[in-house]
Copies of this chain bind each other. A is one copy, B any other.
């Protein structure tokens, strides 16, 4: 049995101790939370629906954009490279869950959409997914969640500014 990595008191966060900068500990705690949640959702999706997290994520993007999205749009929104989106899309097309249409405006581009079957499958999964997320955040009260939401907005702005200047210029 593939023992899943279980977080305990000595997880990723222990990489930093008192001698490290507070910012480093903050980052490692952020990362630990994300890994914990992501690993749980991944295993739930697999156990309940036999789907991988990346495929679910791609379908989630399409569900939010019923008019369809170009490959590049998917790449940006999922924060992964274009080549990666090509591969995941290929898989979903083979499963009949999404389809590629030629863009009428730009012959270089495809428009990717959910098929009716894909939309139907996704909606059932999304319901369970949301329930899991609610459970994962359930130990915080509403005020705390609201504060966290606001602080993460600041972090996102801060990190985007810092990352944008350096060696990762992927901008539209």
Interfacial residues, chain A to chain B (CB-CB below 8 A): 1-8, 10-17, 20-27, 29-40, 43-44, 47-48, 57, 60-61, 64, 73, 75-82, 127, 130-140, 144-145, 147-149, 151-164, 166-169
Contacts and interface: CB of A to CB of B under 8 A. Distances in A.
Given A11-B79, A25-B149, A168-B4, A139 B158 contact: yes
Contact of A168 (B16, B43, B64): B43
B151 A24 contact: no
B44 A12 contact: no
Interface of A is mostly: helix
Given A44-B167, A148-B151, A130 B7 contact: no
B79 A12 contact: yes
A7 B135 contact: no
A25 to B, nearest CB: 7
Contacts of A30: 30, 33-34, 37, 148, 152
